[in-house]
Amino acid sequence: MKITQNPKRILTRHIFCFSSLLLLVLSCSENFSDNPKANQPPQTFISIFSENSLNPAISRQTLNWWGDDPDGVVEGFIYTFNPNAENLTDWLDTTSVDWTFTTETQETFTLTLAGTDTTFTFWVKAVDDAGAADPDGVIQEFNIINTRPIVEFPVSTDVPETTFTVAEFVWSGTDLDGDDTIARYQYVLDDTTDESAWLDIDPDRNSIVLDGLQQGEHVFFFRAVDLAGARSAIIRMPRDENDVWFVREPISSFLMVDDYNIADDTDAFYRSAIRNIVGPIDIWDIKSNGGALEPPTSRAFLLTLQLFDRVFWYGDTGPNLEKAQVTLPEFIEAGGKVLMSTTFPEFSTNQGDPLDFSPADSLGTKIRRLTRNQPVNVTPEYAALGFPELQVNAAIIPNVFPVVPKISSEVIYRLPPGTNWVEEPPMAVINADDTFVFFGLPIRKLNGQGSVEQLLSTILNTILTP
Query: pLDDT tens, position by position, for the chain (466 residues)?
Result: 333 444 334 334 444 444 444 444 444 444 444 556 788 999 999 987 554 433 444 567 788 999 999 988 999 999 999 999 999 999 987 778 899 999 999 998 877 666 567 788 999 999 999 999 999 999 988 777 778 999 999 999 999 999 999 999 999 999 987 888 899 999 999 999 999 999 999 999 999 999 999 999 999 999 999 988 889 999 999 999 999 999 999 999 999 999 999 999 999 999 999 999 999 999 999 998 888 888 989 999 999 999 999 999 999 999 999 999 999 999 999 999 999 999 998 766 554 466 889 999 999 999 999 999 999 999 999 999 999 999 999 999 999 999 999 999 999 999 999 989 999 999 999 999 999 999 999 999 999 999 999 999 999 999 999 9
For Cα atoms 113, 119, 120, give the angle at the middle one, nearest 5 degrees.
80
CATH class of 43-145: mainly beta
pLDDT at 127: 95
pLDDT at 22: 42
Verify cis geometry, omega within 30 degrees of 0, for the bond prior to 238: yes
CB atoms under 10 Å from CB of 74, counted, come to 19
Query: What does CATH list as the number for 254-463?
Result: 3.40.50.880
pLDDT at 316: 94
Which distant-in-sequence residues (6+ apart) come within 8 Å of 193 by Cβ?
none
Of the candidates 325, 340, 352, the residue with the CA atom closest to the CA atom of residue 260: 340
Alpha-carbon dihedral 294, 299, 300, 303, rounded to 10 degrees:
120
pLDDT at 14: 42
Compute the distance between CA of residue 222 and CA of residue 284 in angstroms, rounded to an integer.
Answer: 27
pLDDT at 59: 65
The Cα-based distances of 456 to 123, 270, 430 in angstroms read 79, 9, 14
For Cα atoms 12, 18, 22, give the angle at the middle one, nearest 5 degrees.
145
**How many Å is the Cα radius of gyration of the chain?**
42
> Helix or strand or coil: residue 458?
helix
Q: Where are the beta strands (DSSP E) in 263-323?
A: 282-285, 310-315
Of the candidates 274, 304, 264, 288, the residue with the CA atom closest to the CA atom of residue 393: 264
Contact between 392 and 370 under an 8 Å Cβ cutoff? The reply is yes
> Helix or strand or coil: residue 398?
strand
Q: Which CATH architecture has domain 150-246?
A: Sandwich (2.60)
Asked if the domains at 43-145 and 150-246 fall in one CATH topology, the answer is yes
Alpha-carbon dihedral 120, 126, 132, 134, rounded to 10 degrees:
-60
Contact between 233 and 222 under an 8 Å Cβ cutoff? The reply is no
The Cα-based distances of 225 to 144, 203, 392 in angstroms read 17, 9, 62
Contact between 168 and 51 under an 8 Å Cβ cutoff? The reply is no
Compute the distance between CA of residue 182 and CA of residue 228 in angstroms, rounded to an integer.
Answer: 9
Domain boundaries along the sequence of the chain: 43-145, 150-246, 254-463
Phi/psi of residue 197, nearest 5 degrees: -85, -15
pTM, rounded to two decimals = 0.75
pLDDT at 74: 95
- Write down how long the chain is: 466
> Helix or strand or coil: residue 302?
helix
Q: Where are the beta strands (DSSP E) in 316-406?
A: 337-341, 360-363, 367-371, 375-378, 390-391, 396-400, 403-405
Which distant-in-sequence residues (6+ apart) come within 8 Å of 461 by Cβ?
277
Q: Which helix (H) or strand (E) holds 298?
A: helix 298-305
